[in-house]
Amino acid sequence: MDVVLFGPPGAGKGTQARLLAARLGVPQIATGDMMRAERASGSELGRRFDAYMGRGLLVPDELVLELLEERLRRPDARAGAIFDGFPRTVAQAEALDALLARLGRRLAAVVSLDVGLDAIVERAAGRRVCEACGQTYHVRYNPPPSTGRCGACGADRLVRRDDDAEPVVRRRYEEYVAKTEPVLAYYEARGLLRRVDGTGSVDVVTRSIGEVIDAVRSAR
Ligand SMILES: [Zn+2]
């Protein structure tokens, strides 16, 4: 089952993509992470990414599609994948449809995690990150241990990131909405878009996504 997951920055999309991938037994395909890994590996494709990313330029869609195709042809992705962070434009959405068609597949659903700006701002305000290992916490929803030390690595360096400051969060949210609306409209016109309320706890949102996916599955 091939599913695209959308959600504004700070909505927990990465976490939900990982959980959904595990539930469906398919890989989570986060193109940003894959491109960074490819560069780090020093592969031929990675060196081609380097030429753009090293200069702060956007990687052309053709190169990203090449990476995606190679990934989708691996055995663990034969039954499907969860796309996290791709497509970001209508052109990319069309290219993904064409790629899947070449592989004899098509998207089963596009899930949009809907979270309002106020909720995103509140989450960001409570977020704490361990400077030592990157583990994240939230003072209300996922508090760090009462010792004030990171539960994952034991360091006492839990901080607020500059990225979580309200003006930054607002700007990123507005950028996301402006960029994503046309892509969501593209999928809505194809009957693929499923909106899920993303404001609850991780468990509640996971359950809502599961219900949507079950309904799509049983309708197939
Ligand atoms: Zn830590």
Nearest to 216 by CA among 28, 18, 62, 4: 4
Catalytic residue among 18, 160, 172, 195: 172
149 as an active site residue: the answer is no
- 29/75 Cα distance (integer angstroms): 14
User: How many domains, the chain?
Assistant: 1
What local confidence, expressed as pLDDT, does residue 58 receive? 87
102 as an active site residue: the answer is no
CATH number at residue 134: 3.40.50.300
What local confidence, expressed as pLDDT, does residue 40 receive? 92
pTM over 0.75: yes
* 220, 108 Cβ separation under 8 angstroms: yes
* Residue 82 CB-density burial (10 A; 0-12 exposed, 13-18 middle, 19+ buried): buried
Distance 198 CA to ligand 1 centre (A): 26
71 as an active site residue: the answer is no
Catalytic residue among 23, 161, 207, 217: 161
User: Which residues does 159 contact at the CB level (< 8 Å), separation at least 6?
Assistant: 128, 129, 131
Residues β-bridged to residue 5: 84, 111
Q: Residue 82's domain spans which residues?
A: 2-219
- DSSP sequence for 148-184: SS-TTT--S-EE--GGGSHHHHHHHHHHHHHHHHHHH
13 as an active site residue: the answer is yes
Catalytic residue among 18, 88, 149, 160: 88
One pLDDT digit (tens) per residue for the chain, 220 residues? 999 999 998 888 999 999 999 999 999 999 988 999 999 999 999 999 989 988 988 889 999 999 999 999 999 999 999 999 899 999 999 999 999 999 999 999 999 999 999 999 998 999 999 999 999 898 988 899 999 899 999 999 999 999 899 999 999 999 999 999 999 999 999 999 999 999 988 899 999 999 999 999 998 8
